[in-house]
Amino acid sequence: MQAIVGVAVRKACSDLFSAVLTDGQLQLQKTRKEFPGHFTVVVFPLTKISKLSPEATGELLGNYMVEQVPYVSAFNVVKGFLNVSMSQDFWSGFFTEALANARFGFAQEASGSHVMVEYSSPNTNKPLHLGHLRNNFLGYSVSEILKAVGHRVTKVQIINDRGIHICKSMVAWKNFGNGETPETSGLKGDKLVGKYYVEFDKAHKAQMKELVATGMDEERAAQQTSVMQQAQEMLRLWEARDKETIELWTMMNSWVYEGFTSTYQAMGVNFDKLYYESNTYINGKEEVEKGLAAGAFFKKEDGSIWVDLTDEGLDQKALLRKDGTAMYITQDIGTAILRFHDFPDLAYQIYTVGNEQEYHFKVLFKVLKKLGFEKADQCYHLSYGMVELPEGKMKSREGTVVDADDLMEEMAAVAHEVSAEQGKLEGLPEVEKKQLYHTIGMAALKYFLLRVDPKKNMLFNPKESIDFNGNTGPSVQYTFVRTRAILRRYAEANAGFDASKVMPTGHAMSEAELDVVAKIYEWPSVLELAAASYNPADVAHYCYDLAKLYNAFYQDHQIVREANEGARHFRLALTHKTGEVIRQGMSLLGIAMPDRM
RNA sequence: GGUCCCGUAGCUCAGUUGGAUAGAGCAGCAGAUUUCUAAUCUGCGGGUCAGGGGUUCGAAUCCCUUCGGGAUCACCA
């Protein structure tokens, strides 16, 4: 569509100056709102070929376009900027088209690309916290956005179910648990296991203190506590597939998975396939051995295997310990390759992981490349910044973790309070109310975490996140609810509402109406940009802007009560379409729209 | 010390490949048919885009540099 103007400018330059424009010379943008017009051509780059002043060039082009190009109704030149206005016909034509397309903005056909998105990927010894919320919402949202532009997406996570950290919880449970289970304790499975992880730490610290009191140095004491010794023994037994150990491990992990499942359900995220580190680390070892045989890696005297990335500007990096056991990166190599085997048509993988692991992924992708995976060049680390709290940084060690379940519950509770104050939900069944509070609370949380550029560290202010005014999820929901209320009102008086029966015909749009239509016009390009930059924040801001413009329109236009049929139908259609775009846009953020609130 | 990211209004954040007088929300102040849902709308005040230099018709945006904040540089995960 913007193409219409672009093509026109190219043709004008060819006709007027007999010059072919390069992409750099053709600069089109939306006209700033303080100037009349819809699209703006930046004429500075064109003065070189016109050999005229910017103003004269603009005038010449403007005149040509008004005369020669359909839909261009007027123009003005300010300094070096040519602002062109499109006719009402153009906008109503566009709107009619958009209205007929229920999935306007979404790809009409598959792109043919298959992308894998990994997110969440928790450890099994700790419950999910605020940082995981940003991770999950981001990963889920990017997946949905990629689907919207036509890609096939497979959502996965790698579950870090192996290693010393799991053994710690196991040891503590064995020593102090007295056979406690989620059933007997009434605790969620992941919370119960997390509790024993903390118990381990307590016991470990206490025993360390005793050892240090006997004159042992701290470093040694940390290795020598009885619980630590037990944990290491447990890891050895696990690797040796000791029956009893594996049974305990399986049982405690199943508790965790049950807990995670309910947390994911509350979050509204899901996965197409799960990978377990306990399976993939073996692949990793094999791949590293293969790479060694193929000459991609080298072995040090002590038997450890390394990759040399110094000519890539990186360092040497160990891939396998001297005792032959797997490291963190070993299992990631195995997992990545396994995935390419599982899905041979995979174009690339996206890893949603915190920015503290940027170096790790740089190394990983180089290693994959060395192993012959050309697709590794396309792999992408979707890196995001830390979520900080007003009091200070969010780190699990510092005890200021905000538990994911607790936070989600709190958000729903606040939604409850605010809704009760508003008093608009009378007559709604209790079950639906409860569902609604969750929907609103999650909208607040998700929108707050997703509206910030992923790569930036962000501040999570609990108080502000639950403010339902302003640039927030609930305020966008509210605008959607408003569109529903209006259409409902119309339907009651007119035996239903059918969008296809209220086509706008010959209505001269007001400025506020045109603002909304022009915003809807932007939707496809916003979606494209969000997909290209893996940035849900673009979608969030767009939905808010659209809602804001609709509210401004709503403020001084009659809709259902409008006497003129043409205007009434146009506004009903606009209300319908705005609601749809908001609903579809917000759904890409994983945010649901209620019918009333 | 090396590498990477960030620094925009009192606070939280936007700002496409360099474009016009740098924008929203919150907080503050002043207003609006008490409705087709006011969880809204309109207006006002608030800025050395961290500092300095450079590139050019034009810089918050690109380059150099200084300062400040964060991350990372394990045979940890």
Burial pattern A391-424, b for ≥16 Cβ within 10 A else e, equals eeebeeeeeebbbbbebbebbbebbbebbeeeee
Other Cβ atoms less than 10 A from the Cβ of A204: the count is: 20
Burial pattern A174-189, b for ≥16 Cβ within 10 A else e, equals eeebeeeebeeeebbb
A476: tokens are: 């966008």
> Cβ neighbours of residue A356 under 8 Å, at least 6 residues apart?
A386
Q: Residue A44 and residue A3: Cα distance in Å, rounded? A: 20
- Polymer length of chain A: 597
What confidence score (pLDDT) does residue A35 get? 87
A348: tokens are: 């690339």
Chain B footprint bases within 7 A of protein beta carbons: 2, 4-6, 11-17, 19-21, 24-27, 33, 36-42, 57-58, 69-77
The closest alpha carbon to A421, from A456, A461, A469, belongs to A469
Q: By the 8 A CB rule, do A561 and A499 touch?
A: no
- Which nucleotide minimizes the distance between its C1' and the CA of A537? B14
- A552 CA from B42 C1′ (Å): 10
Tens of pLDDT, residue by residue, chain A (597 residues):
467 788 888 888 888 988 888 878 888 899 988 888 999 999 999 988 888 899 999 999 999 999 988 899 999 998 889 999 999 999 999 999 999 999 999 999 999 999 999 999 999 999 999 999 999 999 999 999 999 999 999 999 999 998 888 999 999 999 999 999 999 999 999 999 999 999 999 999 999 999 999 988 888 888 899 999 999 999 999 989 999 999 999 999 999 999 999 999 999 999 999 999 999 999 999 999 999 999 999 999 999 999 999 888 888 999 999 988 889 999 999 999 999 999 999 999 999 999 999 999 999 999 999 999 988 888 999 999 999 888 644 443 345 578 999 999 999 999 999 998 888 888 889 999 999 999 999 999 999 999 999 999 999 988 888 888 899 999 999 999 999 999 999 998 887 888 777 766 778 899 999 999 999 999 999 999 999 999 999 999 999 999 999 999 999 899 999 999 889 999 999 999 999 999 999 999 999 999 999
Please report where in the chains the tokens 């360092």 appear, as a residue: A315
- Which nucleotide minimizes the distance between its C1' and the CA of A471? B25
- A35 CA from B23 C1′ (Å): 16
A305: tokens are: 């295997």
- A595 CA from B48 C1′ (Å): 49
- Which nucleotide minimizes the distance between its C1' and the CA of A160? B77
The pTM of this model reads 0.95
- Which nucleotide minimizes the distance between its C1' and the CA of A557? B36
What confidence score (pLDDT) does residue A397 get? 39
What confidence score (pLDDT) does residue A2 get? 62
Other Cβ atoms less than 10 A from the Cβ of A546: the count is: 23
> What angle do helix axes A189-213 and A226-239 make, rounded to 10 degrees?
130
- A549 CA from B42 C1′ (Å): 13
- Which nucleotide minimizes the distance between its C1' and the CA of A26? B17
> Cβ neighbours of residue A313 under 8 Å, at least 6 residues apart?
none
- A268 CA from B59 C1′ (Å): 43
- Please tell me which residue lies nearest to nucleotide B7, judged from CA to C1': A456
